[in-house]
Amino acid sequence: MDALGDVGFHYTWLALGLILAVAEMAVPGVFLIWMAGAALVTGLVAWAVPISVPLQIVLFAVLSIFAVFSGRRYIARHPVVSADPKMNDRGARVVGETVMVTQAIEGGEGRVKLGDSEWIAKGADAPVGTRLRVAGHDGVVLIVEPVA
């Protein structure tokens, strides 16, 4: 038996695996989950086969490296597709909506009302009250055009 003690050390690996899995859920980055798997496998191997702690550490390191690179390759080949890709892009969500000019668009710039808020707008000159369609956006500035 060495300084760290071989008896029951597999519980440490299993606990480390669970801690890493919880950390992945708390701070998602698709990185810790692969190391959690390596720690759990190391714990199971140490439980089934009596191996020394230094060998367990080497096994964990090898499994971690293999798992992280395999996981990265898998994620690159099978990317996660968002159910709503425009979720955090408010400007893109309003493309195609009809707006009303609240401050005349003169010299290519004015303000329009969309829902319950006003936006800065760029487009062809238009008087107050004109209905326009949102054709795109440039950051928080809506690009508007006449309704067809």
pLDDT tens, residue by residue, 14-59: 999 999 999 999 987 778 999 999 999 999 999 999 889 999 999 9
Instruction: Assign domain 90-146 to its CATH superfamily.
Output: Nucleic acid-binding proteins (2.40.50.140)
Map residue 129 onto helix, strand or coil.
coil
Q: Which residue has the higher pLDDT, 7 or 123?
A: 123
Delimit the domains of the chain by residue range: 10-77, 90-146
Q: What's the average model confidence in pLDDT over 56-71?
A: 94
pLDDT score of 3: 45
Strand-pair category, 117-122 with 141-146: parallel
- What digits encode the pLDDT tens for the residues 71-126? 889 989 998 887 877 777 777 888 999 999 999 999 999 999 998 999 999 999 99
State pTM to two decimals: 0.56
pLDDT at 6: 53
The residue assigned the tokens 């050390």 is 9
- pLDDT over 70 (residue 7): no
112, 121 contact by CB (below 8 A): yes
- The amino acid occupying position 107 is G
CB neighbours of residue 114 within 10 Å: 18
